[in-house]
């Protein structure tokens, strides 16, 4: 399908957030560095993020009860500190845990979303909890029409309940919803539910030279280098 073909059918856009809309790594590294803890900030940030998918997986397969991302982030953070024999003041740990509420957007994110919003509803569809996404949107001026979160569905992506739940709340058939993400695995799960897909690679998500998930040209409905290019591709 061409970009223009997708534009004809699509009636709403939903966005992955961590890595796709915001640059989690730079923000987390900067706050870790500012705390002055005896850790290497980039490695610490990467280790924190590396705990994220396994923690959600534990919820997805029932080893952990449902808990939101703030709680999972704190659980991972406490583990990292314990491994390193560190016990910073509780106020510092609690405040760092909220760094995910104030991540910085990629340079094109706000401009691109504003332009896309002129034509389509633009909604988050993130594993982040609602209050996290709301704080982030206010901090980064992300102009969401509304916030969709895994928390609304009691399931984490890539569970189908999340993608289908967003389509249901939008009152649209899945094929009229375009999932935008920097992660091929997220897009493949969306496509399996019938959603259209837009891949926006973010080569700096894991830092210069960081690994990116492999993908195959042609497997997504739209590929755009950033949100401004996505707006152009969708005629917005």
Q: DSSP string covering 21-71, please?
A: TB-HHHHHHHHHHHHT-SS-HHHHHHHHHHTHHHHHHHHHTTSS----HHH
Report, in Å, the least distance between residue 138 CB and its own copies: 6
* 147 counts as binding its own copies under rule CB under 8 A: yes
Q: Quick one: which of 71, 53, 69 has its CA closest to 61?
A: 53
Residues 146 and 142: their CA atoms lie apart, in Å, by 10
When the beta carbons of 84 and 138 are compared against its own copies, the nearer one is 138
- Inter-residue contact 170 to 180 (CB < 8 Å): no
- Contact set for its own copies, span 67-106 (CB under 8 A): 70
When the beta carbons of 39 and 172 are compared against its own copies, the nearer one is 172
> Could you count the other beta carbons within 10 Å of the beta carbon of residue 186?
25
- Using the rule CB under 8 A, give the single segment among 78-86, 104-112, 128-136, 155-163 that binds its own copies: 128-136
- Contact set for its own copies, span 31-70 (CB under 8 A): 70
What track of x and - describes contact with its own copies for positions 165 through 204 (by CB under 8 A)? ----xxxx--------------------------------
Q: Considering only residues 46, 145, 161, 226, which one is a binding residue for its own copies as defined by CB under 8 A? A: 145
Report, in Å, the least distance between residue 4 CB and its own copies: 23
Q: DSSP string covering 119-152, please?
A: HS-EEEEESS-HHHHHHHHHHHT---SEEEEHHH
* DSSP secondary structure letter of residue 187: H
* 144 counts as binding its own copies under rule CB under 8 A: yes
Binding site for its own copies (CB under 8 A): 70, 121, 129-131, 133-134, 137-138, 144-147, 151-152, 169-172
């Amino acid at each position: 399908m061409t970009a223009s073909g997708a534009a004809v059918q699509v009636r709403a856009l939903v966005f992955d957030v961590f890595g796709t809309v915001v640059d989690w790594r730079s923000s987390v590294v900067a706050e870790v560095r500012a705390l002055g803890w005896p850790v290497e900030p980039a490695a610490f940030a990467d280790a924190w993020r590396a705990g994220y998918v396994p923690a959600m997986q534990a919820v997805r397969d029932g080893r952990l009860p449902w808990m939101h991302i703030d709680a999972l982030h704190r659980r991972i953070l406490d583990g990292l500190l314990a491994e390193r024999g560190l016990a910073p003041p509780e106020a510092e740990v609690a405040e760092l845990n909220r760094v995910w509420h104030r991540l910085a957007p990629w340079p094109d994110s706000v401009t691109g979303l504003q332009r896309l919003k002129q034509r389509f509803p633009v909604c988050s569809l993130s594993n982040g909890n609602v209050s996290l996404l709301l704080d982030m949107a206010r901090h980064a001026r992300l102009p969401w029409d509304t916030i969709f979160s895994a928390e609304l569905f009691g399931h984490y992506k890539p569970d189908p309940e999340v993608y289908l739940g967003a389509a249901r709340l939008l009152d649209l058939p899945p094929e009229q919803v375009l999932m935008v993400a920097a992660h091929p695995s997220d897009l493949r799960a969306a496509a399996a539910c019938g959603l259209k897909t837009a891949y926006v690679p973010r080569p700096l998500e894991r830092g210069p030279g960081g690994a990116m998930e492999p993908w195959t040209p042609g497997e997504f409905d739209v590929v755009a280098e950033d949100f401004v290019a996505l707006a152009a591709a969708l005629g917005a």
